[in-house]
């Protein structure tokens, strides 16, 4: 059989032209030209394509109004566009229906929603939640608040020295006391992609629901919540080339249906009286108050943008950058990369012997190179690897090999500066 898979060609220069901010320079000083921006901090927040910026501007200039409320023309127009964005998110995750998609303000709020609504209703003293040592604080602290409230226990799955999740330990931790697994789908520090489908299957064998924090994973690969069989899946718009103020909670409908409201207010009720108030069905039940209307519509356009480039093509491009940058960085004496799991996402955390990451970050910034330094909201993981902090370069669909070279050159300059 003559089957050949050809990926759509990925023209990164054309992609870059879509992102106005990428043509700017930084650190201009009296008479001295600035340095071209080399933005390698997309894992913290991604830049926005003109398509998203223009769509939000157009909506604000032509169609803006509150949603789900008015009988007037604009309200209907705005509602239609907002709900269209919900359908786009559902398609992006291959959710069975847009009813499965709850909009929140952030991924953090989505985790808090589940901890508060599902956690406080269905978990009680002695019950256990399993997380991994790789979690972002957003997938640790909400469970700790629940712990303080309900006396539950948090169990932690370790990783090996490459940053690979210890599945044997996970299996051992699963027990009759386990009531929820809350796990990252891709580490924001190590880039490790966890075997979500297997994690879910192992939990489901014990009847335990699973929540995945897909804040990074949804950016770098194709996510199919039905294939994974995720009970909850969370992502955040601003890392998906969309605006801030947009988080997404996917939930299986039978779970969402039995969960009480998270916040009370307008738009989530059927009727309100002082004798008793009844709530709307999900997802509206979890969307109290006026949402980030313009931003959610912008998120829908951001997802369209990713689909137009091809998500496999994006992943292939980013994987090439990851491999190239890792190879180039590894040639620097004294440089150590944290996170070498096979199939990892395009995130490189590293340290340079004799130089604190904070100093490294300040110096490469003078060369126009934007990286994140610090603990990356993942303090337990830093402790696991015995480092106070790391530098992190993260690659996105608009980065180039030349930018990886610029990173390497600036790190070499740091090394020379400190005589390390």
Partner 1 sequence: MMDELRELYQEVILDHGKNPRNFRHPDDANREAKGENPMCGDRFMVYLKLKDGVVEDVAFQGRGCAISTASASMMTEVVKGKTEAEAKALFETFHDLCTKDDHDHGDHGPVDEDAMERLMVLSGVRQFPVRVKCATLAWHAMNAAIEGEDKASSE
Known catalytic residues are 377
Contacting residue, 382, 396, 406, 407, with partner 1 by CB under 8 A:
382
259 vs 363 by CB, closer to partner 1: 363
Contacting residue, 180, 193, 389, 411, with partner 1 by CB under 8 A:
389
Phi/psi region, residue 110 (left: phi>0; alpha: psi -120 to 50; beta: rest), is alpha
C-alpha–C-alpha distance, residues 397 and 378, integer Å = 24
Contacting residue, 86, 239, 252, 375, with partner 1 by CB under 8 A:
375
312 vs 359 by CB, closer to partner 1: 359
Q: Beta-carbon neighbour count of residue 195 at 10 Å?
A: 17
**Could you tell me the smallest distance in angstroms from the CB atom of residue 144 to partner 1?**
16
Give the DSSP letter string of 181-248. EEEESB-TTT-PBP-HHHHHHHHHTTT--EEEE-TTHHHHS---HHHHT-SEEEEEGGGTTS-SS-EE
- Does position 373 interact with partner 1 (CB under 8 A)? The reply is yes
- Nearest CA among 248, 244, 192 for reference residue 384: 192
Name 134's Cβ contacts closer than 8 Å, sequence gap at least 6: 159, 163, 165, 184, 187, 189, 190, 192, 194, 378, 381
| String marking each residue 10-39 x if it binds partner 1 according to CB under 8 A | -------------------x----------
27 vs 69 by CB, closer to partner 1: 27
Give the DSSP letter string of 2-31. -----PPP--HHHHHHT-GGGG-EE--BTT
84 vs 383 by CB, closer to partner 1: 383
**Could you tell me the smallest distance in angstroms from the CB atom of residue 357 to partner 1?**
7
Alpha-carbon separation of residue 387 from 86, 144, 157, 253, 338 (angstroms): 41, 24, 19, 42, 10
- Does position 417 interact with partner 1 (CB under 8 A)? The reply is yes
- Does position 380 interact with partner 1 (CB under 8 A)? The reply is no
Residues of this chain, 330-369, that bind partner 1 according to CB under 8 A: 355-359, 362-363, 366
- Does position 189 interact with partner 1 (CB under 8 A)? The reply is no
**Could you tell me the smallest distance in angstroms from the CB atom of residue 194 to partner 1?**
25
- Does position 222 interact with partner 1 (CB under 8 A)? The reply is no
29 vs 72 by CB, closer to partner 1: 29
**Could you tell me the smallest distance in angstroms from the CB atom of residue 388 to partner 1?**
4
**Could you tell me the smallest distance in angstroms from the CB atom of residue 359 to partner 1?**
5
122 vs 418 by CB, closer to partner 1: 418
Q: Count the site residues for partner 1 by CB under 8 A.
A: 19
C-alpha–C-alpha distance, residues 196 and 212, integer Å = 8
User: Residues 293-323, buried b or exposed e (16+ Cβ, 10 A)?
Assistant: bbbbbbbbbbbbbbeebbbebbbebbbbbbe
**What does the binding site for partner 1 look like in residue numbers (CB under 8 A)?**
29, 355-359, 362-363, 366, 373-375, 379, 382, 388-389, 413, 417-418
């Amino acid at each position: 059989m003559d089957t050949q898979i050809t990926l759509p060609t990925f023209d990164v220069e054309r992609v870059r032209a879509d992102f106005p901010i990428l043509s700017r320079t930084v650190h201009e000083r009296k008479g001295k030209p600035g340095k071209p921006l080399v933005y390698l901090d997309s894992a913290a927040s991604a830049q926005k394509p003109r398509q998203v910026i223009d769509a939000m501007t157009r909506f604000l200039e032509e169609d803006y109004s509150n949603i789900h409320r008015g009988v007037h023309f604009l309200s209907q127009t705005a509602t239609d566009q907002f709900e269209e964005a919900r359908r786009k998110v559902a398609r992006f995750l291959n959710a069975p229906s847009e009813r499965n998609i709850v909009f929140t303000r952030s991924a953090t709020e989505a985790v808090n929603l589940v901890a508060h609504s599902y956690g406080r209703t269905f978990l009680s003293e002695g019950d256990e939640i399993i997380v991994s040592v790789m979690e972002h604080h957003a997938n640790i602290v909400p469970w700790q608040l629940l712990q303080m409230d309900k006396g539950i226990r948090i169990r932690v799955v370790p990783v090996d020295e490459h940053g690979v999740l210890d599945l044997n330990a996970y299996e051992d931790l699963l027990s009759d006391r386990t009531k929820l697994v809350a796990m990252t789908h891709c580490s924001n520090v190590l880039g490790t992609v966890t075997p979500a489908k297997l994690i879910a299957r192992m939990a489901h064998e014990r009847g335990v629901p699973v929540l995945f924090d897909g804040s990074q994973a949804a950016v770098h690969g194709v996510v199919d919540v039905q294939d994974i069989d995720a009970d909850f899946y969370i992502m955040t718009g601003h890392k998906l080339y969309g605006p801030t103020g947009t988080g997404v909670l996917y939930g299986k409908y039978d779970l969402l249906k039995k969960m009480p409201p998270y916040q009370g207010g307008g738009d989530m009720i059927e009727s309100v009286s002082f004798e008793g108030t009844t709530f709307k069905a999900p997802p509206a039940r979890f969307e109290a108050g006026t949402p980030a209307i313009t931003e959610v519509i912008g998120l829908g356009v951001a997802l369209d943008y990713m689909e137009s480039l091809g998500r496999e093509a994006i992943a292939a491009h980013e994987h090439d950058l990851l491999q190239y940058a890792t190879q180039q960085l590894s040639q620097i004496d004294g440089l150590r990369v944290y996170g070498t799991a096979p199939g990892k996402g395009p995130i490189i955390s590293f340290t340079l012997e004799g130089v604190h990451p904070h100093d490294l970050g300040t110096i490469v910034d003078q060369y126009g190179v934007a990286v994140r330094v610090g603990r990356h909201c993942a303090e337990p993981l830093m402790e696991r690897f015995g480092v106070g902090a790391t530098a992190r370069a993260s690659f996105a669909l608009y980065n180039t090999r030349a930018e990886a070279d610029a990173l390497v050159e600036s790190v070499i300059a740091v090394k020379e500066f400190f005589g390390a």
